[in-house]
Structure formats: C-alpha cells, structure tokens
A and B are shown apart, each in its own frame.
Chain A
Amino acid sequence: MTWIIIAMAAGVMLALALIMTFVLGWANEAFHVAIDPRIEKVNEALPGANCGGCGYVGCGEYAEAVVLGEGKVPLDICPVGGEGVATAIAEILGMTLEKSYPYRPVVHCAAHTNDRLGRHEYRGEQTCATANLVAGVQGCIYGCLTLGDCVESCKFDAIHLIDGKITVDYEKCVGCGACEKVCPRKVISMVPFKDEQMFVLACSNQDFGKDVKSVCKIGCIGCKVCEKLSNGLFAMRGNLPHIDYDNYNPEGVDTLMDAVLDKCPAKSIVKIGKPSSADIEAVAGEDVPDIVKAKFETTVDKTEWHG
C-alpha cells in the first residue's frame, strides 16, 4: 500500500465530493419548492407524536393546516401538547390565544343497576351497537345500555363500568373523543371543562313525567323547575334541560345551583369532574366497588368480523 495509492484513494473521494456538491447545489436551486417557513417552526413546536387526536393525519398535516388556514383552524386542539404547544403556535403565527378549555366527555346517564327498570337479560352480541338494534333490552330507550362499547374504545383506560353506571376517570382522560364517536345512543357528549368539576345533566330521556318514572328511578321527568330557578343557565329543549356551557361561569355556579338541586325531584343534575381533595378524604375509608363485566360471554364475543 504505497502512499500514492492512498493519495489516489483520497483524491477519488474528494473529486466525487466536489462533483456531487455542484450537482446537488444546482438541483437544489432548479427544484426549489417554496414553503412557508412558519410551517417548519410550527412543526418543530408540535410534540411529533402523530396521534391524530387533533383530527389531522399527523403533526405535519396539522402544522400546514394551522399556518395556511389563517385563523380558521383552532390553535389549541393538540391533546398531547396542551396549552404549552398552543401558546408556542400562537407566538409563531403572531396570533393571540383565546382562553380555551379542555373538552372532556360527559355521560348523560346516571342510573345504577338498581335504578334501571324494565331490563331483561340480553344474550345477543354484547356490544351496545348491536343491543341498540334490538327492542326490549332496557326500559329506557334513550339511556346508556351499559354493554361497554365506550369502555372498549378508550385507549387511555379512562372510562369504566362501575355498578351499572359508566364513569369517566377524569384524571386519565385526554379528551380524544373516541367514546363519544362510538356510543350508538349518543349518551356521551364532549363538554368544555371550565373548572375541575362541572354541573351536567345526567339524563337523556326525552319523555315526560310518568313515562320516565316507569323506566328509571332517577330519570329527568321534564318538570321545568330548573329552568325557572336557574336564571338562564338551563334552557328546556323539549322535555330535557340543556346547559349553555358558553355562559357557564364557574365562579357563582355553586350558589346558583343550590336552589336548583334542592328542588329537582329526580336528582339528574350532578356535579362531575376530577375529585377534589375534600372528596378524596370523604371516601378514604370505604371500599372501592369492582368494575362490573358482562357475565354472559362466549369465545367469539370479542371477535371483529370483517365482511
């Protein structure tokens, strides 16, 4: 291995490098694609998890949509990045960030197993989607079927069936909306949580009075007392009160609701959310109820059949 050979080897590599530098430099100019530099910056600010929680295919898609759709695309819909990322994006785009609240699912059905009347043993496919097509599974045709489609759909283990009632664990929930999409009776809706705990109406029954009482012990009977006493927070839509969350002010809502809760005959208005320290202390000594699973299951019950 003489020095000449080594020098020639180095020379070949150098010559190659020089030629390719010029070729690629020319190509960079000739094939230049003009992109908004802000898209790169936003892309870097995003967490890069490509989870799809924002509704776009990946972080790159969302970055493009946010920069090119000036103002129309919300800045704060990244569930993984949260407020920090929203502020960073607002800074890059030079827009101000309005105060936004996390959207969390609310189950509009508070009935436990004993409250549900007219329930018969259902031996079909144990999913809510199928049970919804069959008559006679449950007295209340608007309420939760408790077969757990939402429990299956949650990737964050944040929703469970406890004692016949679907309960959301607000500590684990990230607000992706999968449970809302999967519920066949539309019992779950996404609500902006302006505070740790929010008042919600935990009933979906659109019937009136006696019809409701015959199918559920705690269903809303549509008496309109809440509308009269709540100073505009509740508005009746048919037989169900509807809470206007845009005007929901967490400051004075407790005192406002005291009167309503006192008078509501059905106990369908509840306050739910992350447990406060007082709540945790109150149940410190109690046993936690087990998560109830359907008792009747075969080996093919969880199979997903395609076509």
Chain B
Amino acid sequence: MDYIAQLVLIAVGAAVINNFVLIYFVGICPFIGVSRRVDMAFGMGCAVTFVISIAGALSWFFTYYFLRASAPWATAIYHLCGGSGQSDLTILTYIVYIFVIASSVQLVEMYVRKFFPPLYKSFGVFLPLITTNCAILFACLEIMKNVAVPANTDPSQIWGLGESLTLAFFGGIGFTIAIVIMAGIREELDLCDVPKPLRGPGITLLIAGILAMAFMGFSGVNGSLDSMLKSAENNQPETTQPKQQVDDRQVDK
C-alpha cells in the first residue's frame, strides 16, 4: 500500500500540485501555440502525454541500467573490460535524453500522420516542436534526479519504472489539463474586446499568469494528501515522517 500511496502522491503532484506548465513554466511553446481551439489542444495534450511517457520510460531504463553511478549493466561491462571501481556515465544523461525524445517524437509524428491526417495538418510545425519541448526533458531530468543518486544513498529511495512512468504520464496529464483550460478560455476570448496590442500571445500570457496563480492554491494539498495517505517514505521535501509508525516499531521490539 505504501507503494501505491507513493504513486498516488507522485501522480497528483505531477499533474496538479507541481503542474509542469503552470508552476514550472516548461512547455510554453505548444501551450500558447496550439491552445486556440479545444479539440486541437486536447490532441496536442494527448500527443505530449504519449511522447512524455515513452521518453520517461526509456530514459529511466537507460539511466538505471547504464548511466548512473554504479549502474548494474554498465558496471558489469566495465569490470569485464578490466576497470576497477564503479562506472559513472552520468555525463551522457542529457545527450541520451534528447536522443530518446527526438526518436519518440519522430515515431509519434509518423503515427499521427498515418492515422489522424487532419490532426497532423492542424498541428503543423508544433508536432516536431515537441522535440525541443522543455516539458519532456524536464520530466526526464526529474526522473534522473531520483534515479542517478550518489552511490551511498539508500537503494529503496531510487525510483523504479513504476514511479518514473507515473511521473511522466501524469506530468503529461497535467499539461493536457492546463492546455485544455487555456483553450476553453481562449475560445471565449474570441468574442471579447481585447485591446489590439494584446491580441494573440499577449493576452494568452497574461491569462496564463493568472491561471498559474490559481494553481498555486494547490500547493497546500501536498502536506495534507501526504498525511492522509500515511506514507512513511516519500520524496516530497516538505513532509515529515509520521511519528506513529516509528513508535510502533520501537514498542514491538
């Protein structure tokens, strides 16, 4: 149950409390560029979620087994070639992530072009722009932060595939929520009297700022959700370990 609780925390954290677009301000390019209509925005949200999940899973795989300090497969190869000590390939993380993201975006582009031609046309240049989208790299780096930890930390703290995939997928869901809300607002804005200098990206950025302030209201949910789920170990910095469980253990002994 602790595992599920941690997954729920990560999921809600990535989607709502620490929304990628509105709190960390990554992935703003498609957020402003594709949020004119709700159907296009939803399509872009789904594409980003798909890419971010694939990229997140692949980057976890490569980081866990190859790139981090004392990664099992890399260390094995290292010892095989006669090296001593641990292998540490963390210098490759950025390049490998960008490589993986670019390939997954290419795959998604081909898929969308074959099976959803009108969506492909309406995205235009924004679909390949997902490649340089900071939101995806941000998810991969968040995963790296929790996987490529220094060699002397507790192994149970290192994220497995479950946690990484949850963070990536729900980060994409959070992006979708934000972009669909913005699309809904922008569709209404078409009928409003917006001053000429602010039309288009100007008013969108202003509204994004106000939306970000609204989403900041979720930051208190973190602590109460945590204590509600009563998880003993989690990676959120603001939480405190509930004292009950520690006391129980001591009493048992």
Against B, the Cβ 8 Å flags (1 = close, 0 = not) of A29-64 are 001110000000000000000000000000000000
Taking CB atoms, residues of chain A closer than 8 Å to B191 are 306-307
Interface pair A5/B78, CB less than 8 Å apart: yes
CB of A27 closer than 8 Å to a CB of B: yes
Number of interface residues of A (CB under 8 A): 23
Taking CB atoms, residues of chain B closer than 8 Å to A13 are 92, 95-96, 99
Distance of A11 from chain B, by nearest CB (Å): 8
Distance of B112 from chain A, by nearest CB (Å): 9
CB < 8 Å: which of A16, A23, A307 contacts B96? Answer: A16
Q: Please measure, in the bound complex, the distance between the C-alpha atom of A135 and the C-alpha atom of B78, giving whole angstroms.
A: 92
CB < 8 Å: which of A8, A27, A31 contacts B89? Answer: A8
Distance of B144 from chain A, by nearest CB (Å): 15
CB of A12 closer than 8 Å to a CB of B: yes
Interface pair A12/B89, CB less than 8 Å apart: yes
Taking CB atoms, residues of chain A closer than 8 Å to B62 are 12, 16
Distance of A241 from chain B, by nearest CB (Å): 44
Q: A8-B74, A8-B89, A20-B103 are in contact. Are A305 and B193 (CB under 8 A)?
A: yes
Interface pair A27/B107, CB less than 8 Å apart: yes
Against B, the Cβ 8 Å flags (1 = close, 0 = not) of A1-31 are 0101101110111001100100110011001
Residue of B88, B96, B103 with highest tally of chain A CB at under 10 A: B103
Q: Please measure, in the bound complex, the distance between the C-alpha atom of A4 and the C-alpha atom of B77, giving whole angstroms.
A: 10
Closest-by-CB residue of A relative to B110 is A31
User: Which of B79-87, B211-219, B220-228 lies on the face that meets chain A?
Assistant: B79-87
Closest-by-CB residue of A relative to B120 is A33
Taking CB atoms, residues of chain A closer than 8 Å to B194 are 306
Q: A2-B83, A9-B92, A307-B192 are in contact. Are A24 and B103 (CB under 8 A)?
A: yes
CB < 8 Å: which of A4, A27, A306 contacts B83? Answer: A4
Interface pair A5/B103, CB less than 8 Å apart: no
Q: Please measure, in the bound complex, the distance between the C-alpha atom of A8 and the C-alpha atom of B91, giving whole angstroms.
A: 12
Interface pair A5/B87, CB less than 8 Å apart: yes
Taking CB atoms, residues of chain B closer than 8 Å to A23 are 103, 107
Interface pair B78/A33, CB less than 8 Å apart: no
Interface pair B110/A27, CB less than 8 Å apart: yes
Q: A20-B103, A33-B114, A307-B191 are in contact. Are A4 and B82 (CB under 8 A)?
A: yes
Residue of A9, A17, A305 with highest tally of chain B CB at under 10 A: A9
Interface pair B92/A4, CB less than 8 Å apart: no
Q: Please measure, in the bound complex, the distance between the C-alpha atom of A11 and the C-alpha atom of B110, giving whole angstroms.
A: 28
Q: Please measure, in the bound complex, the distance between the C-alpha atom of A296 and the C-alpha atom of B87, giving whole angstroms.
A: 81
Q: Please measure, in the bound complex, the distance between the C-alpha atom of A59 and the C-alpha atom of B92, giving whole angstroms.
A: 41
Against A, the Cβ 8 Å flags (1 = close, 0 = not) of B106-124 are 1100110110010000000
Closest-by-CB residue of A relative to B82 is A4
Interface pair B92/A12, CB less than 8 Å apart: yes
CB of B66 closer than 8 Å to a CB of A: yes
Q: A9-B92, A12-B92 are in contact. Are A24 and B74 (CB under 8 A)?
A: no
Taking CB atoms, residues of chain B closer than 8 Å to A11 are 77
Interface pair A306/B192, CB less than 8 Å apart: yes
Closest-by-CB residue of A relative to B85 is A2
Taking CB atoms, residues of chain B closer than 8 Å to A24 are 103, 106-107
Q: Please measure, in the bound complex, the distance between the C-alpha atom of A145 and the C-alpha atom of B6, giving whole angstroms.
A: 73
Closest-by-CB residue of A relative to B115 is A31
Closest-by-CB residue of A relative to B106 is A24
Taking CB atoms, residues of chain B closer than 8 Å to A16 are 62, 96, 99-100
Distance of B190 from chain A, by nearest CB (Å): 8
CB < 8 Å: which of A20, A31, A304 contacts B113? Answer: A31
Residue of A2, A11, A23, A305 with highest tally of chain B CB at under 10 A: A2
CB < 8 Å: which of B81, B110, B192 contacts A28? Answer: B110
Q: Please measure, in the bound complex, the distance between the C-alpha atom of A28 and the C-alpha atom of B194, giving whole angstroms.
A: 45
Q: A306-B191, A307-B191 are in contact. Are A8 and B78 (CB under 8 A)?
A: yes
Q: Please measure, in the bound complex, the distance between the C-alpha atom of A33 and the C-alpha atom of B117, giving whole angstroms.
A: 10
Q: Please measure, in the bound complex, the distance between the C-alpha atom of A33 and the C-alpha atom of B196, giving whole angstroms.
A: 42
Closest-by-CB residue of B relative to A2 is B83
Residue of B88, B114, B117, B194 with highest tally of chain A CB at under 10 A: B114
Given contacts A12-B89, A33-B114, 11 further A-B contacts (CB under 8 A): A8-B78, A9-B89, A9-B91, A12-B67, A12-B92, A24-B106, A27-B107, A31-B111, A31-B113, A306-B191, A306-B194
Q: Which residues of A contact B (CB under 8 A)?
A: 2, 4-5, 7-9, 11-13, 16-17, 20, 23-24, 27-28, 31-33, 304-307
6 A–B contacts from the bound complex (CB under 8 Å) = A4-B82, A5-B78, A5-B83, A8-B87, A11-B77, A28-B110
Q: Which residues of B contact A (CB under 8 A)?
A: 62, 66-67, 74, 77-78, 81-83, 87-89, 91-92, 95-96, 99-100, 103, 106-107, 110-111, 113-114, 117, 191-194, 196
